[in-house]
Structures are given as C-alpha cells and as structure tokens.
C-alpha cells in the first residue's frame, strides 16, 4: 500500500490542533492523535476541568473560613456526581465537536491511531498499518502521568492519575495522594474540601519544592492544617488494604515502614514527555537526558523539517507556553525565510490550590546560587486595606529586584487572587520596567487588592535605596561605586 502524502503532519490535538487555522487552508494536513479524547490534555483532563473542580472547593473553604468575619456558614453536602457531570457535560461535547469539525474539513485527514517514525518523512500508524508521509512534521504529542510504583493487580482499579480521578463514580472517604507538586496540591485541595480525608505522601520535607522556599514552607504549613502531609517517605508498594481498600506502604527517613490505608490512591508524581512513544531515533530527532525533544529558539528539532512544541519538548509543561510555541511554529511554517524565536525569558505559573499561588522569575535560592545581588521585600496581605477586610493572617507577596538596575527579578505571591495579581509583575519583567516608575507613576485603586503589589514595590524601592547608599558609604563617599 502506497503511503498517503500530506504537506504537513501534526502529532497531537492539543495546542497542535490550534495550528490548523485558515492561514494553512492551502495545505493538506494530517492530524494524528491516539488519545481517548480529542483536544489535548488541557481541555479534557488538565487545566480546564481541574479548575472547574477547584471553584466549588474554593466555595466550601470560603464558607469554612467565614467565621473570622462574623458569618456562620455550613456546607451541608457536596454532590460529587452533580459537579462531575456538570463539568464533563460541558467538556465532552466540546471535545467531540472539535473532532467532528476536523473530520469534516476537506484538507485535513484525522487519524485516531498511534504514530511512529519509519524515517524522517514517514510515519507508520497502528493498528491499521497505514503509512503517511509529509514534507514537514510538527511534534505536539504532549505528556502523560509518571508511574511511581506499579500497584498490585488486584488494586489497579483503585489507583488513579489526573487522567482518571475526576471521573470516579463516588467521592472517596479516604484518598492518598502521591506527590507534592502542583497537580497533587490542587487535587488535595479539591478532595479535602469536598469531604475526603486526604493524606499527601512526599519524598521531601516540603510541598511545592520548586516554589520560592518561603512560599513552599508557608504553603506546607497551611495545607497541613487541612490534611495529613507525610514528609520524607518513599513509596515501596501499593497493595490491598485490610478493609477492602488500598494500602500504600512507605519507608520513612529513619528506615521505618509505614502504612497508609485509603479507598483510592491518586498518583500525582509528575508527568513525562511522550517523545519516547514516537520512535524518534528513526527520524534522527534528538532528545535530552530527561526525554524531552531538543529544539532551538525557533522550535526546530535536530531535523530541519520537523518542529516541536508543548510538553513533548518543554519541561515546564504549561498550556500557555505550548500556545506561545504554537504561534511561533505557525509563523515559521508560513515564513520559512523569516523565522521568529519563542521568548522563554519570563514564564509564569500558578497553583490553583488553597492558598493560591502565582509566580514568575527567579526564586531567592536561585539568585543566591548565581551569586547575583538582589533586594527583597515581603508584603503581607494583612497589611493592606483589602487584606484587613479579609482578616488575612497567612498570605504574602515576595518580590526580588536587581538593586543596580531597579528591574524585577522574581515575584512570588501566595494568597487570594495570586494568579491574577502576578500578571502586572509579569508585564513589568517582560517590558523591563523599573520598580520605582511602576510603583509611583500610576494610580493604584484603593482599597483594592492590587495595593498588595503597590506596597511590595514601594518596599523594594526603599530596599534598593538603602543598598545603593550602603555601596556609596563603602566606597568612601566618593561616588565611585564598584
């Protein structure tokens, strides 16, 4: 059977699907994706449904915390099936509609099969055995959950990942969460708020260890007030529990064996790129030691006509990064003689747990490791007007700046609306605005919560002035600062 030839093959229907817009109508395109859903991780099992589960959880926690404001509320019930069905009653039709639309486009061939390279221009499809070729190929194959320990066969159905946990039939009375990253934190928040007894098991001593250390430590302390956090434990096995559930056996730092019994287990120990499923060596596409496809600033792989975007090549694994890289690939496919690069300088992220986190740029530990001078200001929510209204006692913004240039180096917010409040700080870093002009040359609405950012910036300005004054004094008041 002769291969079917296309101008372009795209592997992956997440951000890769967004490549197929009217600008490419003149090309014949193959879309290949063997996932059980269409539209990628974010739409079906990632960002969108998880945040739709988070919002009801936030309402529950808000009701629980209203007492400090003089309001007594009580959450009498959380209807898990109703929440689940409302969410996927919206998402599933969108996924199905997207697939239907693609399949009806005359210039697009959709293949719900597994693709592997035969050579740099040819893909074999399974299970059909068909082959397709193209002049150019885009790898947007995404990622999948990492398996920490293979569960015993008789409890496999009780061990879930983020791909499946949102569709379970009943809310578990007890849930063990393996991992301490953002996926674990968000699901821990959801299930504990809904009424599950949640135990989080982590190998280290803090949750969200990639955050700034002050944020990570404070987050761990606050979460430990709502659920059990088992630190410095390594999972050894997942087997049947004594009560018909599932048992997670761990080894603690002191070598003792511990048991955690639950009704369900959520494996949230990270994700791995799907490049290893594509037989990349047959195409000559290089990967790094962690399995991510190597790309240059233009999103080209080591093979000139093969491009990559999103989780398959980007360790941060964020949808907004995949979308940005998609726009780069789109331009470069259309303008091969005028390539543009993806700007990865200031990649922000957020954690939609309780408390919420928004961050961009360097952590304090990273600046110390680099030996880079910096000034730092930590601003408490409770010290600004809206924070008073919230009676906030636990949350803060931490900003770091270069004392020589006055440019922001990092921003780390933990508390209400953190993922929104950080946006102006992303803007500052992207457009290289200095802290003093942003803090003093615009109006900040009083008593709105953005005053948290204003006061943090004003504090940084003062820290910078003191740093510069100290350098002048050290130089003998000569004005020649080394």
All structural domains of the chain with their residue ranges: 4-144+272-334, 153-269, 355-474
What is d(CA 391, CA 381) in angstroms, rounded to the nearest whole number?
Answer: 9
Tell me what pLDDT residue 60 has: 94
Tell me what pLDDT residue 79 has: 96
What is d(CA 118, CA 9) in angstroms, rounded to the nearest whole number?
Answer: 14
Residue ranges in the chain whose pLDDT is less than 70: 477-482
Residues 6+ apart with CB under 8 A from 365: 212, 213
Task: Choose among 141, 358, 176, 168: nearest CA to 269.
Answer: 176
446 annotated active-site: yes
Rounded (to 5) percent helix, strand, coil in the chain? 35, 25, 40
Q: Is the link from the previous residue into 158 a cis peptide, with omega within 30 of 0?
A: no
Q: Can you list the pairs that 330-337 forms with residues at least 24 positions away whose Cβ atoms lie under 8 Å?
A: 330/19, 330/21, 330/23, 330/24, 332/298, 332/299, 332/300, 332/307, 333/8, 333/19, 333/24, 333/136, 333/138, 333/307, 334/23, 334/24
Task: Choose among 142, 135, 141: nearest CA to 336.
Answer: 135
What is d(CA 5, CA 403) in angstroms, rounded to the nearest whole number?
Answer: 57
- Contact (CB, 8 A) for 325 and 314: yes
Tell me what pLDDT residue 143 has: 98
What is d(CA 187, CA 353) in angstroms, rounded to the nearest whole number?
Answer: 8
> Could you give the angle at the alpha carbon of 456 between the alpha carbons of 415 and 463, nearest 5°?
140
Tell me what pLDDT residue 482 has: 47
Tell me what pLDDT residue 64 has: 87
What is d(CA 12, CA 141) in angstroms, rounded to the nearest whole number?
Answer: 4
Output the pTM of the full model.
Answer: 0.95
Q: Which two tokens stand for residue 112?
A: 């719900």
Residues 6+ apart with CB under 8 A from 295: 301, 307, 308, 313
The yes or no reply on domain 355-474 and CATH 3.30.390.30 is yes
Q: Which CATH superfamily is domain 4-144+272-334 in?
A: FAD/NAD(P)-binding domain (3.50.50.60)
Residue with tokens 């919560």: 449
Express each pLDDT in 396-412 by its tens digit: 999 999 999 999 999 99
Tell me what pLDDT residue 478 has: 56
Same topology between domain 153-269 and domain 355-474: no
Task: Choose among 238, 229, 278, 233: nearest CA to 261.
Answer: 238
Tell me what pLDDT residue 74 has: 80
What is the second-level CATH architecture of the domain 153-269? 3-Layer(bba) Sandwich (3.50)
């Amino acid at each position: 059977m002769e291969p079917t030839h296309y101008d372009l093959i795209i592997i992956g229907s997440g951000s890769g699907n967004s490549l197929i817009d009217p600008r490419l109508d003149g090309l014949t395109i193959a879309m290949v994706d063997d996932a059980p859903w269409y539209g990628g991780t974010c739409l079906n099992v990632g960002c969108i449904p998880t945040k739709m589960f988070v919002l009801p959880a936030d309402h529950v926690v808000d009701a629980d915390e209203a007492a400090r404001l003089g309001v007594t509320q009580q959450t009498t019930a959380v209807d898990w099936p109703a929440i689940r069905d409302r969410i996927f009653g919206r998402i599933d039709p969108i996924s199905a509609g997207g697939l239907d639309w693609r399949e009806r486009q005359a210039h697009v061939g959709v293949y719900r099969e597994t693709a592997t390279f035969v050579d740099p221009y040819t893909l074999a499809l399974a299970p059909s055995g068909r082959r397709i070729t193209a002049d150019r190929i885009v790898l947007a194959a995404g990622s999948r959950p990492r398996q920490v320990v293979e569960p015993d066969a008789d409890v496999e159905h009780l061990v879930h990942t983020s791909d499946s946990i949102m569709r379970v039939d009943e809310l578990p009375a007890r849930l063990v969460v393996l991992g301490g990253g953002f996926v674990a934190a968000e699901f821990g928040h959801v299930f504990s708020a809904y009424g599950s007894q949640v135990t989080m098991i982590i190998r280290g001593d803090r949750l969200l260890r990639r955050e700034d250390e002050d944020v990570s430590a404070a987050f761990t302390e606050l979460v430990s007030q709502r659920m059990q956090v088992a630190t410095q434990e390594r999972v050894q096995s997942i087997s049947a529990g004594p009560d018909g559930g599932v048992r997670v056996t761990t080894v603690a730092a002191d070598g003792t064996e511990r048991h955690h019994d639950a009704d369900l287990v959520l494996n949230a120990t990270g994700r791995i790129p799907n490049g290893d499923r594509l037989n990349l060596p047959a195409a000559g596409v290089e990967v790094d030691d962690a399995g991510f496809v190597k790309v240059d600033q233009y999103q080209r792989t080591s093979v000139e006509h093969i491009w990559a975007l999103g989780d398959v090549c980007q360790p941060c694994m964020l949808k907004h990064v995949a979308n940005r890289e998609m726009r780069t690939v789109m331009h470069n496919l259309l303008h091969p003689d005028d390539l543009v690069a993806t700007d990865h300088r200031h990649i922000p992220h957020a954690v939609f747990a309780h408390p919420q986190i928004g961050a961009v740029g360097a952590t304090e530990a990273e600046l110390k490791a680099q030996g880079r001078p910096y000034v730092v200001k930590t601003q408490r929510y409770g010290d600004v007007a809206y924070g008073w209204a919230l009676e906030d006692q636990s949350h803060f913004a931490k900003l770091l700046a270069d004392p020589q240039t006055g440019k922001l180096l990092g921003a780390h917010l933990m508390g209400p609306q953190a993922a929104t409040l950080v946006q102006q700080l992303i803007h500052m870093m992207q457009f290289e605005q200095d802290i003093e002009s942003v803090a003093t040359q615009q109006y900040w609405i009083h008593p709105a919560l953005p005053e948290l950012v204003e006061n943090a910036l004003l504090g940084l300005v003062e820290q910078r002035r003191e740093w510069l004054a100290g350098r002048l004094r050290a130089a003998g008041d000569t004005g020649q600062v080394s």
